[in-house]
Structure 1
């Protein structure tokens, strides 16, 4: 059964892509997980809000210094919650108790449903919610005094294709990214109850009442030729972009996208040895006073 959230995206349908992205991001992101865990008390409570397929909590579980933690996975999409519980439980072993809560991150009553946390983590979920600032206020309320709130938002767009694919007009990846940006802006504008947030994430975290606001980047770089997993991920990524771009692309670009996504076509991306993945994720964090 399809499950849609505020953005009307069927995230359960995108589980395979989420798992591939998490596998590719795991090692570069491990240092970020370790950094966020530094200074937490023994037996911390960690909330992964909008956990998706659970990739970051897998890293939290693996990087915990000692046993006795509590990891609570929160998501509105039940199939993702089931998958997240499976992989995080396997990674945690006897280091942590893993729990799940089926809930909407946009629910202002969320703090009454969850335990106070030493670390609240939300990765690329807030920008999908109608009122981003209100959601950050909710995340701040989930932290116990002195607790850390960290979100992954923004960064630099990922690139994965050579500029000239030998078919169609060069530079199609830039046009796919631009079309995706237009689609996202239209999608956000159509979310019921949407509220603009015309300032950056650091300002938003301060307005949520957090102190010691800071940010750091995570470089994701898989150089060519890359693995089979990388090629599969790039094909899925380009297919997703082409789908959401729709008529925002020219007819020539739509034909090029169809060709490079067709396994029977000589231009099929999955047969190339020059695909790569390069981009930066940004983690913004602040502490509840």
Structure 2
């Protein structure tokens, strides 16, 4: 990949997010229904014509769900913030398509505003505050100082507005316990390797500060009240559609890229068979691949 495609914005965590576009879009497709339910739940409490800030919007999966939820209740503004131009372009295109659809009764107006920004150095409040809802999904854990990042998000919330932070949950599963090749229990060893990689990624992030405690504590300490949380499932049981198998192949590939060196050589051999389209064990053709994961959303109101 050419050097210029690495945006400065995501270099803190060492991940080239533009190269992850296909995988992000795949995941968004599979998470679509769950995202719509979450978006409706979050916008229900908002005043008319609110501003919603999608921080670290990625490929736009939740952006689209938020646009649809606002359309259904008369309109508003969705501000998309991301540091990778390729992702922001895709998210903006998808959000604009979703904003212009007509309901049976009327044409609702949702305004879309994209903002290219590096969240480690730029304050969300300066970019697009104050918003009645700030949504940030799996973005804070990539920033050097997570507590400072939460404070920055809270600054962007209008008084009486809400911050919804999607972080944590349960590690996704997609492999049966015994694949018929290699030692059973590969999924758990992949998860352990990924957890080790994550700790290493945080340690190697320049200026990284540890944040002890849970996300609810961080929200309360940042001055939010009525702090609660809910979790939602993404559940595509086996036998799953091809899109799930394709996602699983990409996911396993990504596990290898980031944490392959932390796996036992025997597991690495198993994985290379699972990723080989010419092998009888190829993951993309297995009927027993599935997707089951739980995401947690922490919510708090600004007094």
Matched with 1:74 is 81
1:86 aligned to 2:86?
no
Match of 1:20 among 6, 26, 30: 26
1:217 aligned to 2:215?
no
Tell me the distance in 1 between the aligned counterparts of 2:256 and 2:185.
Answer: 14
Shift of 1:108: 5.0
Matched with 2:282 is 268
Tell me the distance in 2 between the aligned counterparts of 1:107 and 1:116.
Answer: 18
Shift of 1:112: 1.9
Cα shift readout 1:165-216 (whole Å, capped 9, x = no counterpart)? 1111111111111101101100101111111101000000011111110000
Cα shift readout 1:129-178 (whole Å, capped 9, x = no counterpart)? 11000000000000110010001000011100011111111111111111
Tell me the distance in 1 between the aligned counterparts of 2:283 and 2:34.
Answer: 25
- Structure 2: which 5+ runs fail to align? 101-107
Matched with 1:233 is 247
* Residue aligned with 2:129, SS: coil
Matched with 2:6 is 2
C-alpha contact (below 8 Å) 1:108/1:135 kept by paired residues:
no
* Residue aligned with 2:18, SS: coil
Matched with 2:104 is none
C-alpha contact (below 8 Å) 1:61/1:95 kept by paired residues:
no
C-alpha contact (below 8 Å) 1:7/1:128 kept by paired residues:
yes
* Residue aligned with 1:85, SS: helix
Task: Please give the root-mean-square deviation of Cα atoms over the aligned residues, in Å.
Answer: 1.1
Query: TM-score of the superposition, structure 1-length normalised?
Result: 0.97
Shift of 1:67: 3.5
Matched with 2:61 is 55
Match of 1:102 among 99, 116, 120: 116
- Give aligned pairs, total: 289
1:124 aligned to 2:138?
yes
Matched with 1:283 is 297
Tell me the distance in 2 between the aligned counterparts of 1:19 and 1:109.
Answer: 27
Tell me the distance in 1 between the aligned counterparts of 2:92 and 2:186.
Answer: 38
Shift of 1:32: 1.1
Cα shift readout 1:53-86 (whole Å, capped 9, x = no counterpart)? 1111101111223333111000111100000000
Shift of 1:95: 2.7
Matched with 2:222 is 208
1:171 aligned to 2:181?
no
Query: TM-score of the superposition, structure 2-length normalised?
Result: 0.93
C-alpha contact (below 8 Å) 1:66/1:95 kept by paired residues:
no
Tell me the distance in 1 between the aligned counterparts of 2:109 and 2:173.
Answer: 37
- Structure 1: which 5+ runs fail to align? none
C-alpha contact (below 8 Å) 2:35/2:61 kept by paired residues:
no
Match of 1:184 among 193, 198, 204: 198
Shift of 1:28: 2.0
Which ranges of 4 or more aligned residues in structure 1 deviate by more than 4 Å? none
141-150 or 111-120, which moves further after superposition?
111-120
